[in-house]
């Protein structure tokens, strides 16, 4: 039988320009203030800081660079340990390696899929007994859902360990009325192409510690001392964001609320159409929190006849629909095979279960209703047969 022609590709979360970006970009061009830094960078930083409700922000070339600077500001160095959520993208932990330090991974808990307070407590208890507390705890807000910040903050402050929030995926999400990224000593955002807003590539470091942010600016510009000749006492980096890309960011900020609303609508539609299927469960939203629903993610229950997550993934791929498994937990990655890991409950690793059954569905804000119905019908056809 000839295979029916498949439809146009539906991507997971492609960039979505608003058109507002042009005015800021052309301003930069007209004033020839393309690089370095400039007004767009300053304004983009101010807009993000005001939106999050923190005292300052530093625009950098990526979320990874922002995280690296945060670790550097907390004096993380060779021989140190840093705790990190296991269920995340590798960029959450790579900067720990850049500093020569050792990541220790913490499992998820079932309701937010983010860092388990009880696993963190256990890890900190053991670390303090061994006399070697971590220099920082990196808490990730996965897929736009805030972690249990109240519990996690209480535990970290009990041991006096600073928090860095990896809010790369959670711009615009809130927890008990406070914005994601306003809880930690530092927080980072990413404006990579797949994130809820994008500068094509870029990131932001935010904090209430303005002195530390000044230091971050210094480190991110090759640690150049104030002298007309080039004077250096410390090792620095070339991490600042260009004024042109910051212009894209300002244009994207104008539509951020719209994007969040759209992401939540996409989720609501999937849920409305698919939640009656017994084998599908959607990622929860913790009480008193608002997820930005960066990606709609669901769990596919395993069953006997091999129609599981991987089967559904294959079917969607054949229909030219981009879907993906949930992040492979970092403690399962070969890169980190020798690193310690603390499960939520002994012999019951939540993040591994989420990885095994979790499926990220196309969630691009430029996706049409027809396109989303194509995804939905494809899943319905498969699941009704289970």
Ligand X SMILES: *Cc1c(COP(=O)(O)O)cnc(C)c1O
Q: Which of 13, 40, 64, 116 binds ligand X (CB under 6 A)?
A: 64
- Candidate ranges 166-174, 175-183, 297-305, 338-346; the one touching ligand X (CB under 6 A): 166-174
In DSSP terms, which residues pair with 325 in a beta bridge? 359
Region binding ligand X by CB under 6 A among candidate stretches 1-9, 88-96, 267-275, 284-292:
88-96
Residue selected from 21, 80, 169, 319 as contacting ligand X according to rule CB under 6 A = 169
Determine, following the binding rule CB under 6 A, whether residue 80 of this chain makes contact with ligand X.
Answer: no
165 contributes a contact to ligand X by CB under 6 A: no
In the complex with ligand X, the residue whose CB is nearer, 197 or 280, is 197
Nearer to ligand X, 51 or 189 (CB): 189
Segment interacting with ligand X, rule: CB under 6 A, options 44-52, 85-93, 260-268, 354-362: 85-93
Query: Going residue by residue from 196 to 235, which x/- string records binding to ligand X, judged by CB under 6 A?
Result: -------x--------------------------------
Of 27-35, 165-173, 334-342, 353-361, which part binds ligand X (CB under 6 A)? 165-173
215 is catalytic: no
Binding to ligand X by residue 372, rule CB under 6 A? no
Contact flags string 122-161 toward ligand X, x per CB under 6 A = ------------------x---------------------
Q: What is the DSSP string of 252-303?
A: HHTTHHHHHHHHHHHHHHHHHHHTTSTTEEEPP--TTEE---SSEEEEE---
User: Are the beta carbons of 86 and 352 closer than 8 angstroms?
Assistant: no
Question: Which residues 6+ apart lie within 8 Å of 375 measured at CB?
Answer: 10, 270, 316, 321, 323, 361, 362
Q: How far apart are CA 329 and CA 87, in angstroms?
A: 4
Interface with ligand X, residue 105, by CB under 6 A: no
Closer to ligand X by CB, 89 or 342: give it: 89
| Cβ closest to ligand X, residue 96 vs residue 383 | 96
**Minimal distance in Å, beta carbon 71 to ligand X?**
13
91 part of the interface to ligand X, by CB under 6 A: yes
Terminal CA-to-CA distance of the chain, rounded, Å?
24
How would you classify residue 269: left for phi > 0, otherwise alpha for psi between -120 and 50, otherwise beta? alpha
Among the residue ranges 32-40, 60-68, 70-78, 103-111, the one whose residues contact ligand X (CB under 6 A): 60-68
**Alpha helices (runs of H) in the chain, residue ranges in sequence order:** 21-30, 39-52, 63-73, 94-98, 117-129, 149-159, 210-220, 243-253, 256-274, 309-318, 350-357, 369-383
Q: How far is CA 217 from CA 4, 15, 33, 185, 212, in A?
A: 55, 28, 19, 16, 9
Least Cβ distance, residue 202 to ligand X (angstroms):
7
Spatial neighbors of 373 by CB under 8 A, at least 6 apart, are none
The active-site residue out of 195, 262, 263, 307 is: 195
User: Quick count: other Cβ atoms within 10 Å of Cβ 371?
Assistant: 18
The CA distance from 277 to 266, in Å, is 18
Using the rule CB under 6 A, is 86 a contact of ligand X? no
Shortest Cβ contact with ligand X: which residue?
A: 63
CA distance 341 to 107: 7
Tell me the closest approach of the beta carbon of residue 227 to ligand X, in angstroms: 32
How many whole angstroms separate alpha carbon 185 and alpha carbon 354? Answer: 29
Give how many residues touch ligand X by CB under 6 A.
Answer: 14
Q: Which is nearer to ligand X, 359 or 379 (CB)?
A: 359
| Dihedral over alpha carbons 168, 163, 298, 3 (to 10 degrees) | 40
Judged by the rule CB under 6 A, the positions of this chain that interact with ligand X are 62-64, 88-89, 91-92, 140, 166, 168-169, 190, 192, 203
| Residues tagged active-site | 195
């Amino acid at each position: 039988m000839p295979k029916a022609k498949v439809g146009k590709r539906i991507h997971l979360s492609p960039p979505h320009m608003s058109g507002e970006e042009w005015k800021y970009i052309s301003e930069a061009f007209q004033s020839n203030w393309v690089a370095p830094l400039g007004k767009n960078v300053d304004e983009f930083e101010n807009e993000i800081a005001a939106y999050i409700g923190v005292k300052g922000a530093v625009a950098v070339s990526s979320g990874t660079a922002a995280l690296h600077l945060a670790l550097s500001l907390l004096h993380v160095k060779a021989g140190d340990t840093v705790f990190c959520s296991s269920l995340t993208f590798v960029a959450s932990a790579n900067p720990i390696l850049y500093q020569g330090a050792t990541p220790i991974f913490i499992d998820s808990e079932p309701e937010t899929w983010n860092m388990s307070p009880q696993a963190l407590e256990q890890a900190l208890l053991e670390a303090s007994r061994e006399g070697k507390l971590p220099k920082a705890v990196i808490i990730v807000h996965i897929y736009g859902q805030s972690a249990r910040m109240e519990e996690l903050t209480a535990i970290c402050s009990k041991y006096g360990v600073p928090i860095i929030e990896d809010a790369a995926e959670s711009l615009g999400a809130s927890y008990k009325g406070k914005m994601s990224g306003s809880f930690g000593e530092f927080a980072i955002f990413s404006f990579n192409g797949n994130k809820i807003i994008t500068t094509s590539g870029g990131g932001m470091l935010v904090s209430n510690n303005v002195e530390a942010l000044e230091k971050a600016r210094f480190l991110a510009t090759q640690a150049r001392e104030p002298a007309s000749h080039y004077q250096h006492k410390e090792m620095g980096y070339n991490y600042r964001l260009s004024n042109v890309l910051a212009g894209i960011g300002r244009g994207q900020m104008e539509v951020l609320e719209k994007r969040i609303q759209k992401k939540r609508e996409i989720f609501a539609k999937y849920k409305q159409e698919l939640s009656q299927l017994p084998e599908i469960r959607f990622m929860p939203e913790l009480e008193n929190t608002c997820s930005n629903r960066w990606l709609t993610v669901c769990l596919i229950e395993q069953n006997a006849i091999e129609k599981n997550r991987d089967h559904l993934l294959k079917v969607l791929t054949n229909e030219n629909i981009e879907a993906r498994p949930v992040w492979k937990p970092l403690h399962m990655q070969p890169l980190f095979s020798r690193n310690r890991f603390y499960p939520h409950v002994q012999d019951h690793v939540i993040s591994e279960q989420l990885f095994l059954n979790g499926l990220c569905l196309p969630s691009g804000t430029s996706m049409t209703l027809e396109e989303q119905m194509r995804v939905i019908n494809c899943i319905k056809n498969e699941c009704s047969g289970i």
